[in-house]
Chain A
Amino acid sequence: EVQLQESGPGLVKPSQSRSLTCSVTGYSITSNYWGWIRKFPGNKMEWMGYISYSGSTSYNPSLKSRISITRDTSKNQFFLQLNSVTTEDTATYYCVGYGYNYWYFDFWGPGTMVTVSS
């Protein structure tokens, strides 16, 4: 069974950077695409980006240069870093796994709420 679990700080101050970790079990991250999606208060969902099985990345242009997705294959983990956060980054963050060779989201973590507040 494939399982994903997010971890990271739940409260961040404006202008700081925030990093989240996604730990994957049951599936090697070197065999698929993995990504981050966030859901804002009010239900809007936003795809943030992905990291491929080879380590290449793609990001939502709306996040410009604030985002970075990296990985540690030895721990089967991938990471989200978002810089210069504002209150508009307050959301529930999900790590996701794509369907193998497909572009839908087959696997989801439980999500972690991140609040940006001073």
Chain B
Amino acid sequence: DIVLTQSPATLSVTPGESVSLSCRASQGISTDIHWYQQKSNESPRLLIKYASQSISGIPSRFSGSGSGTDFTLSINRVESEDFSVYYCQQSYSLPHTFGAGTKLELK
């Protein structure tokens, strides 16, 4: 199985800061990585597909980059509604796997 390692596990920031969340794959997966946001007591929501493709309805402050084994989710100027857990997921091969998540919290 492909292992996805997300870092950091927790990121403490103040609103207005810009942040980068990392997801590293145990082998090359091209751009077959997707990012989700999960707020407390809600289902995950797709933020970015195929490493960098935007999703309709998702604020433009969210962007993704990377290919191969290293991927980044960037949030430009964090807003209060962004404090939640972020997961990456690979679709390069079955079984689909997820990273352990990065919790974005208020400093």
Contacts and interface: CB of A to CB of B under 8 A. Distances in A.
Contact of A110 (B43, B49, B89, B91): B43
A106 B44 CA distance: 10
A45 B95 CA distance: 12
B82 interface: no
A94 B46 contact: no
Interface residues of B, number: 21
Give the bracket for the number of chain A residues in contact with chain B: 20 to 34
Contact of B46 (A46, A62, A106): A106
B100 A43 contact: yes
Interface in B68-95: 85, 87, 89, 91, 94-95
30 contacts: A43-B100, A44-B98, A44-B100, A45-B44, A45-B89, A45-B101, A47-B89, A47-B95, A47-B96, A47-B97, A47-B98, A94-B43, A94-B44, A99-B46, A99-B49, A102-B49, A102-B50, A102-B91, A103-B91, A103-B96, A104-B46, A105-B36, A105-B89, A106-B46, A108-B43, A108-B44, A108-B45, A109-B43, A110-B42, A110-B43
